[in-house]
Amino acid sequence: MSYYFISIGGTGAKVMESLTHLCIAGLLPNDERLYIAAIDPDVGNGNLERTSAALNNFVAFQNFSVGNDTPLFKNKISIVRPFPFNPTGHDKTLDDLTEYHQHSTGVGKLYAALYTRAERSVTLNEGFRGHPSIGAAVLAKNFGDGSNRTTLTAQIEKLIGEGDSVKIFLAGSVFGGTGAAGLPTVARLLRDNLADYADRISIGGALILPYFSFTPTDIGDELFARSENFLPNTKAALKYYADRENLFDATYLVGDSVMTAVKDFSVGSANQRNEAHIVELYAALAAADFFAQPTKKKIFKYICRHERDKFSWNDLPTSRERFVQFARFIFAYVHLVKPVLNNLVSGEAAAYKYPWFVDLLGGVKVTDPDVVNFSFYAEAFAAWLKQLETFGGREIFLIDPAAFESNPARIVDKKIFSALDGVQSKITLHEVWYRLTEPLKLESSVTGFGKFLRRLYEACAA
């Protein structure tokens, strides 16, 4: 069995960010290979850029020798190129990508009736601007052809030809532009392109309902997604899906009744960097749930929470123990390990004062790319978790909010560490330090920086 996750548009990219963190923490149902693909004409989107950074870190972590009997980095991933797949090219308009406007009668008049002059002439570098009709036309014409068919559809065909079965999960919004256009179009094209292998594939989708709003400024007459249109767009989209019940084998509807205000509005490109949201984590967990289900089983799941305006561990369908252990592992690295490494590089500390460094990091240079990449990722995970738990409109208590009082996230009060999730444990920072100095028995394949990370992760187990 192989898994495919395809993000569509900016919201899909944010779901992919949450899924990447879940994979690194070992929270996918088993150790099957995960193929990651993205579809977005806005290739410079800030949300996608942040996700790409986490993915590239994950690719690097696969080289760590941590052993096979640990959930840490257990899922191997492959990024499907080109990443992201851009169905529009650069500086193209709808007129550039279709030939219908060249016809003076028949189809040309129909094209002119269906699309306004603004829709036909706007450049699509920053996405489909909340107009799914543009995206549907572009994707129907360009997805599955040329290089993208070679790398995605043909790759799936090759796996199936080798006797594998494939589960494909799509994620995107139904209320904007790229996701609303791409979810049904890509699902239908995949089914059509892989019709000969229908018994070997299963397609699931996270249909993201409205969960944020924004107030645009200084955009003049420019085309863009308008949050006042989100609800009517969603109503129309859901009616469409209801009429096409065979589009997905499993459908997950995820949204929120409170619209979180986006702080800094942007039509797209690098300035579109929205903070993480609990809805995106739920959608990523939906992907994990789909991958865990028996192939071709039609499912409908209903999730509710215990309190209207609060999210807690009782409301999440995931392993609390493993997630909290991973959070401890990250905070222990950020709070205990990284400062020591920085002091060693600057010469402010001597290695012999830290037995765990001598025993576990002998021969590893603290300036090695592996160490630098993981240090960057640890800060990024802490920042993602902070965003997840501090957005407006809801109380989130997965990790004690006091852990995020400093920026970047640091444990200000050491007592917080032993009760990160609100439940008191024996795992204090002192206990982690002590465990790192205990005699170590690991298989010989566990070496280098991976050996240290494995030991630190185990030292954070309750």
- Please check whether residue 30 lies inside any domain of the structure: yes
- Please check whether residue 106 lies inside any domain of the structure: no
| Residue where one domain finishes, among candidates 303, 333, 362 | 303
Q: What is the pLDDT of residues 73-103, one digit of tens each?
A: 888 889 988 888 887 777 777 777 777 666 6
Higher pLDDT, 131 or 280: 280
Are 343 and 264 found together in one domain? Answer: no
| Residue where one domain finishes, among candidates 233, 268, 303 | 303
Closest CA to 285 of 208, 356, 359, 224: 208
Please provide residue 276's backbone torsions phi and psi, each rounded to the nearest 5 degrees. -65, 155
Are 170 and 62 found together in one domain? Answer: yes
Are 166 and 277 found together in one domain? Answer: yes
Lowest-confidence segment of 55-59, 325-329, 392-396 by average pLDDT: 392-396
- Please check whether residue 78 lies inside any domain of the structure: yes
Kindly state the percentage of the chain with pLDDT values over 90.
23
Which CATH number is 180's domain given? 3.40.50.1440
Query: CA 166 to CA 185: how far, in whole Å?
Result: 19
Are 394 and 292 found together in one domain? Answer: no
- Please check whether residue 102 lies inside any domain of the structure: no
CB atoms within 10 A of CB 405: 14
Are 260 and 324 found together in one domain? Answer: no
Say if residue 167's pLDDT is above 90.
Answer: yes
Are 271 and 324 found together in one domain? Answer: no
Q: What is the pLDDT of residues 103-162, one digit of tens each?
A: 667 777 787 787 778 777 777 666 666 567 676 777 777 665 555 555 688 888 888 888
Are 40 and 163 found together in one domain? Answer: yes
Q: Residue 2 is encoded by which pair of tokens?
A: 């192989």
Q: What is the pLDDT of residues 450-461, one digit of tens each?
A: 999 999 999 999
HEC string of the chain? CEEEEEEEHHHHHHHHHHHHHHHHCCCCCCCCCEEEEEECCCCCCHHHHHHHHHHHHHHHHCCCECCCCCCCCCCCEEECCCCCECCCCCCCCHHHHCCHHHCCCCHHHHHHHHCCHHHHHCCCCCCCCCCHHHHHHHHHHHCCCHHHHHHHHHHHHHHHHCCCCEEEEEEEECCCCHHHHHHHHHHHHHHHHCHHHHHHEEEEEEEECCCEECCCCCCCCCCCCCHHHHHHHHHHHHHHHHHCCCCCCEEEEECCCCCEECCCCCCCHHHCCCCCCHHHHHHHHHHHHHHHCCCCCCECCCCCCCECCEEEHHHCCCCHHHHHHHHHHHHHHHHHHHHHHHHHHHCCCCHHHCHHHHHHCCCCCCCCHHHHHHHHHHHHHHHHHHHHHHCCCCEEECCCHHHHCCCCCCCCCHHHHHHCCCCCCCCCHHHHHHHHCCCCCCCCCCEHHHHHHHHHHHHCCC
Across 245-271, average pLDDT: 72
Are 239 and 294 found together in one domain? Answer: yes
Are 18 and 52 found together in one domain? Answer: yes
- Domain region containing 255: 2-89+124-303
Are 380 and 406 found together in one domain? Answer: yes
Say if residue 32's pLDDT is above 80.
Answer: yes
Are 218 and 289 found together in one domain? Answer: yes
CB 186 within 8 A of CB 84: no
- Please check whether residue 197 lies inside any domain of the structure: yes
Kindly state the percentage of the chain with pLDDT values over 70.
83
Are 358 and 450 found together in one domain? Answer: yes
Say if residue 236's pLDDT is above 80.
Answer: no
| Residue where one domain finishes, among candidates 240, 268, 303 | 303
Looking at the structure of the chain, the number of domains it has is 2
Closest CA to 454 of 320, 318, 326, 324: 326
For 61, residues 6+ apart whose C-beta sits below 8 A from its C-beta are 24, 73, 373, 374, 377
